[in-house]
Amino acid sequence: MSFPVVRMRRLRRNPLLRRMVQETRLEVFDLVAPLFVKEGIAAPEPIASMPGQYQHTLDSLVRECEELVEVGVPAVILFGIPARKDPEGSGASDPNGIIQRALRRIREEFGERLLLITDLCMCEYTSHGHCGIVRNGTVDNDRTLDRYREIAISQAAAGADIIAPSGMMDGQVQAIREALDGAGYQDIAILAYAAKYASSLYGPFREAAESAPKFGDRRSYQMDIANREEAIREVSLDIEEGADMVMVKPALPNLDILAKIKELFRMPTAAYNVSGEYAMVKAAAQQGWLDERATVVEILTAIKRAGADVILTYFAKDAAHWLRERS
Ligand code: PBG
Ligand code: ZN
């Protein structure tokens, strides 16, 4: 059967018909809001390359969480910026570190009303800005794992629900799983940044998190954008090591990878709509070159259609508002 009997436009004739046959529905439950909290500042500081995003104080972080809870965003992922950095990234595992304090504060205020995800990495905490321990000019994988174990336990102790290692060290999921289980945190889940590509789209984040590497780049641990089979191996290894959820990042240049991974592994799968993707839309919208709302809903829906169960996005709060107005 084909034209003229078949007419695809029949089901596009009006909004209700289009809604009825819509295959992918973006929902507020799909979203995770990334938030930055900085030690030792008196007021929230706007992030120039990410309009609408802030380096929060503990108080402004709580207020932001309140707004997110009000509009129904179910989860946040927290990034901490310590007052002092050192080569070992000591602040990352400090029981009184900025993330640990933030976790306790938010838990106290919101209980079970908000899921708390922590990014587990060292680049915000190290003086050299790399994601692990540097030895002989390169990041030493296995020494870094020892630090990740300590950081994981400190984050769990402070109340994280889900720990998300983003450093792309080999064996990081296994190391963290063992550490958590050994310390009695069997029920804390791991969201593995499994297929994380080296990307220029992390630029604004590195301003926000003050985490740019002081020498070299991250290509000896993050993936080459040219590679596909490698992403499949990365995800498969993380699942074997005990990941509960896997992530593809950045989302938009890697929708093919996201679709493939969802199809192959059938795991709860997340995609990170990263800082550079946010900045591009914001910049164009500020110029009046793009309709921000329509663009964001289109992008987030496409990420979900490609296979994401969970989308980490700086647009979470705005999208939540827009989704409310729509329904
Ligand atoms: C830390 C980390 C980064 C991002 C998330 N966790 C930056 C990086 O790897 O340099 C990027 C997120 C974004 O750009 O929004 N390892
Ligand atoms: Zn890092």
Tell me the per-residue pLDDT of 189-205, one tens digit each, with 9 for 90 and over: 999 999 999 999 999 99
What pLDDT score was predicted for residue 326?
75
CATH 3.20.20.70 correct for 24-326 = yes
- pLDDT at residue 64, as a whole number: 98
Ligand 2 centroid – CA 201 distance (Å): 14
User: Catalytic site residue 85?
Assistant: no
Instruction: Give yes or no for residue 119 CB within 6 A of ligand 1.
Output: yes
Side chain identity, residue 275: S
275 lines ligand 1 (CB under 6 A): yes
97 in Cβ contact with 85 (< 8 Å): no
Q: Is the pLDDT of residue 327 over 70?
A: no
- Residue 213 pLDDT exceeds 70: yes
The proportion of the chain whose per-residue pLDDT surpasses 70, expressed as a percent, equals: 100
Query: Which of 47, 121, 207, 220 is the best mutation target for the ligand 1 pocket, counting ligand atoms within 8 Å of the beta carbon and taking the most?
Result: 121
pLDDT for 24 equals 98
Q: What percent of the chain has pLDDT over 90?
A: 99
> Which ligand approaches the C-alpha of residue 36 most closely?
1
Catalytic residue among 85, 249, 304, 317: 249
What is the arithmetic mean of pLDDT over 139-167?
98
Q: Does ligand 1 lie within 6 Å of residue 313's CB atom?
A: no
249 a catalytic residue: yes
pLDDT at 275 over 60: yes
pTM of the model: 0.98
What region, left, alpha or beta, does residue 159 occupy, with left being phi > 0 and alpha being psi -120 to 50 degrees? Answer: left
Of 196, 262, 282, 304, the catalytic one is 196
Among 32, 130, 166, 273, which residue has the most ligand 1 atoms within 8 Å of its CB, making it the best to mutate? 166
Banded pLDDT at 55 (limits 50, 70, 90): very high
Burial 74-100 (b: 16+ CB within 10 A, else e): bbbbbbbbbeebeebbbbbbbeebbbb
CB of 213 sitting under 6 A from ligand 1? no
Q: How far is the CA of 258 from the centre of ligand 1 (A)?
A: 18
pLDDT in tens, 59-100: 999 999 999 999 999 999 999 999 999 999 999 999 999 999
- The CB of 271 under 6 Å from ligand 1? The reply is no
The C-alpha angle with vertex 273 and arms to 270 and 274, in degrees rounded to 5, equals: 120
Nearest ligand to the CA atom of 148:
2
Mean pLDDT of 17-37: 98
Residues in the chain: 327
Among 195-199, 312-316, 321-325, name the one with the lowest average pLDDT: 321-325
